[in-house]
């Protein structure tokens, strides 16, 4: 028996022992071993990879987790080191001030952004520096920016009315959202509203890029290495268009940040610019103002601000046109408001309209925000959870410190105890009435997590609300008709960090038949 053969035996036995030992530990000795659920996800993270990357082309694990809850009850173990709790009453515990797993940011390669801050102390510093520029008062002062872009949308709708050609309103909303968030961030934009073909190209490439996000999240090191090596060895032409777009976008964002950092006299500052303010922030230490750090922040802000607002606008528009009674109620509410305040309603007045606000809230609910699990964990504190239903009803489970825990937005937003007929677009569920008590409405609002919850709630919520309210109010001035578009073009069917409808969807298309006659 040679030395090499003996060495091979030792290595083989060691590897086998490692896998057997890991399996025994995960299934029987792990602190989470008593958590209900099937044995395979408790054994290996490859179970999650299978549903994230293979089943139906990927993006199916949230739907599978929801099915597991139907069988095993409100608490399950979706991976060896994590619990998932589908129970609205436990949301406040999960979303308390805690650390968060930063895997989501790693999948997008924005590690040093606000979302990439795993430690809640670091997150608080970054958040406090940005809060003043995203407050309701700050957004109201920027009505001119939103109004200018809303008027450009109206011009596109008028042009589509004259041409008689179907308008892809998904492209319009992508351009509108992108122009706003770039203007808000840098003081200038890419003028996508003037080039909807470029908006279409960027929208489709972003969607293609996001379909690979689970592969990047599960195999982060490999994809980052390949992202560095492939362009150098084989050249950029071999890269998919979506990846080329991302590289180009990050390079441009990096140049924008470098320009701001070098502009000590503020000669290039035109109007509002979040990153000029962050550069001069007294809250951020010097290491938080580096070009790389601010580039990550800008990348996430522009991508998330564009995608989330455009998606919610698309969902709202589809259902408003699909359910004419909603459109009638919106028009009546806006008609009365305009009689009282004039034809051009101030942003503050628009945001206070109950039915318009309810329609926006319902669109956000059915957008499902970040569709993957956003794990939280308590660094030092053990937590307890008692199952209120299911096969293990009444059983108390102790979750040791650093246990990763989450509640999928899908599970909360389709919980029939919260939202009867959950897949129906129904703004009335957000308005108190004789059949819908104030307590019920307030409880739904507390459980609404599409834009996050607690101290990590989406920082751009006020920007999104302003952008949505103005353009939805403008749309009611036109007679629009859905064209070759149905519910499968907006309904959540795939989790690629954000909700995706059917893979071959062209987006939401409409015919603009002209201005609405009162």
What residues are paired with 480 via a beta bridge? Answer: 512
Which pLDDT band holds residue 43 (cuts at 50, 70, 90)? very high
The total of structural domains in the chain comes to 2
Rounded CA-CA distance 55/250 in Å is 31
Rounded CA-CA distance 422/426 in Å is 9
Question: Among 371, 477, 310, which Cα is nearest to 58's?
Answer: 371
- Which whole number is the average pLDDT over 100-108? 61
Q: Is the pLDDT of residue 75 over 70?
A: yes
Residue 186's pLDDT is what? 86
pLDDT tens sequence across 333-357: 999 999 998 888 999 999 999 999 9
Mark whether 23 and 70 lie in a shared domain. no
Query: Hey, CA dihedral for 86, 91, 95, 99, is it positive or negative?
Result: negative
What is the DSSP annotation of 203-240? HHHHHHHHHTHHHHHHTHHHHHHHHHHHHHHH-GGGS-
Mark whether 86 and 103 lie in a shared domain. yes
Residue 156's pLDDT is what? 98
243 or 214, which is more confident: 214
Single pTM value for the model: 0.94
Question: Among 379, 399, 403, 380, which Cα is nearest to 81's?
Answer: 403
Mark whether 387 and 449 lie in a shared domain. yes
Mark whether 400 and 493 lie in a shared domain. yes
Which pLDDT band holds residue 92 (cuts at 50, 70, 90)? very high
Mark whether 7 and 154 lie in a shared domain. no
pLDDT tens sequence across 221-265: 877 777 676 665 655 555 667 677 777 888 888 898 998 899 888
Rounded CA-CA distance 438/435 in Å is 10
Mark whether 15 and 146 lie in a shared domain. no
pLDDT tens sequence across 162-207: 999 999 999 999 999 999 999 988 887 889 999 999 999 999 999 9
Mark whether 138 and 266 lie in a shared domain. yes
Q: Which residue has the tokens 């599978």?
A: 64
**b/e per residue 259-277 (b: at least 16 CB within 10 A):** ebeeeeeeeeeeebbbbbe
| Binding residue ranges | 458
Is residue 144 within 8 Å of residue 475, measured between CB atoms?
Answer: no
Residue 236's pLDDT is what? 57
Rounded CA-CA distance 505/252 in Å is 29
Who contacts 485 (Cβ-Cβ below 8 Å, separation ≥6)? Answer: 318, 507, 508, 509, 510
Is residue 495 within 8 Å of residue 61, measured between CB atoms?
Answer: yes
| Binding residue ranges for heme | 458
Rounded CA-CA distance 202/414 in Å is 31
Mark whether 8 and 157 lie in a shared domain. no
Tokens of 118: 């795993």
- Burial (CB count within 10 angstroms: exposed 0-12, middle 13-18, buried 19+), residue 17: exposed
Residue 234's pLDDT is what? 56
Q: Is the pLDDT of residue 285 over 60?
A: yes
Mark whether 16 and 40 lie in a shared domain. no
403 or 115, which is more confident: 403
Rounded CA-CA distance 117/124 in Å is 9
We report the CATH number of the domain holding residue 208 as 1.10.630.10
Tokens of 57: 């082309």
Mark whether 350 and 373 lie in a shared domain. yes
302 HSE (CA, 13 A, CB side):
32
% of the chain exceeding 90 in pLDDT: 71
Rounded CA-CA distance 97/117 in Å is 13
- Which whole number is the average pLDDT over 371-383? 92
How are the residues of the chain apportioned to helix, strand and coil, as percentages rounded to the nearest 5?
A: 60, 10, 30
Mark whether 317 and 256 lie in a shared domain. yes
Is residue 247 within 8 Å of residue 239, measured between CB atoms?
Answer: yes
Residue 470's pLDDT is what? 98
Q: Which residue range is the domain that position 47 belongs to?
A: 31-515
Task: Choose the most confident range, by mean pLDDT, from 239-253, 354-368, 441-455.
Answer: 354-368
- Which whole number is the average pLDDT over 284-288? 94
Mark whether 358 and 306 lie in a shared domain. yes
């Amino acid at each position: 028996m040679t030395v090499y053969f003996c060495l091979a035996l030792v290595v083989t036995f060691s590897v086998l022992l490692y896998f057997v030992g890991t399996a025994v530990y995960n299934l029987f000795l792990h602190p989470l071993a008593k958590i209900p659920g099937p044995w395979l996800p408790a054994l290996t993270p490859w179970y999650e990879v299978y549903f994230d990357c293979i089943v139906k082309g990927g993006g199916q694990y949230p739907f599978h987790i929801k099915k597991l809850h139907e069988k095993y009850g409100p608490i399950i173990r979706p991976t060896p080191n994590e619990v998932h709790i589908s129970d609205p009453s436990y949301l406040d515990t999960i979303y308390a001030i805690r650390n968060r797993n930063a895997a989501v940011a790693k999948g997008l390669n924005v590690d040093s952004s606000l979302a990439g801050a795993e430690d809640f102390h670091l997150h608080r510093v970054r958040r406090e520096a940005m809060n003043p520029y995203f407050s309701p008062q700050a957004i109201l002062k920027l009505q001119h920016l939103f109004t200018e872009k809303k008027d450009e949308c109206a011009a596109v709708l008028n042009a589509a009315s004259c041409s008689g050609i179907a308008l892809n309103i998904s492209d319009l909303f992508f351009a509108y959202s992108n122009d706003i968030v770039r203007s808000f961030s840098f003081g200038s934009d890419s003028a996508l509203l003037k080039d909807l073909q470029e908006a279409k190209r960027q929208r489709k490439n972003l969607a293609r890029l996001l379909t690979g996000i689970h592969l990047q999240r599960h195999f982060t090191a490999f994809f980052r290495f390949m992202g560095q090596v492939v362009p150098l060895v084989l050249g950029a032409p071999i890269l998919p268009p979506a990846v080329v777009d991302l590289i180009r976008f990050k390079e441009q964002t990096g140049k924008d940040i470098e320009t701001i950092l070098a502009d000590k006299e503020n000669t290039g500052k035109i109007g509002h610019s979040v990153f000029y303010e962050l550069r001069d922030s007294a809250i951020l230490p010097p290491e938080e103002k580096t070009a790389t750090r601010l580039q990550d922040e800008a990348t996430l802000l522009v991508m998330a601000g564009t995608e989330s607002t455009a998606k919610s606008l698309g969902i709202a528009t589809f259902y408003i046109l699909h359910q004419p009674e909603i459109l009638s109620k919106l028009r009546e509410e806006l008609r009365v408001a305009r009689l009282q305040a004039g034809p051009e309603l101030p942003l503050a007045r628009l945001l206070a309209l109950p039915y318009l606000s309810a329609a926006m809230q319902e669109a956000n609910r059915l957008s499902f925000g970040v569709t993957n699990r956003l794990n939280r964990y308590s660094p030092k504190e053990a937590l307890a959870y008692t199952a209120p239903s299911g096969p293990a009803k009444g059983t108390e489970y102790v979750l040791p410190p650093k246990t990763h825990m989450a509640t999928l937005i899908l599970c909360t937003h389709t919980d029939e105890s919260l939202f009867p007929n959950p897949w129906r677009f129904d703004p009335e569920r957000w308005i108190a009435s004789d059949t819908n008590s104030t307590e019920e409405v307030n409880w739904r609002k507390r459980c609404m997590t599409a834009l996050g919850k607690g101290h990590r709630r989406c920082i751009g919520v006020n920007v999104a609300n302003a952008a949505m309210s103005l353009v939805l109010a403008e749309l009611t001035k036109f007679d629009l008709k859905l064209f070759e578009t149905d519910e499968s073009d907006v309904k959540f069917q795939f989790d690629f960090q954000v909700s995706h409808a059917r893979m071959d969807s062209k987006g939401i298309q409409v015919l603009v038949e002209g201005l609405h006659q009162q």
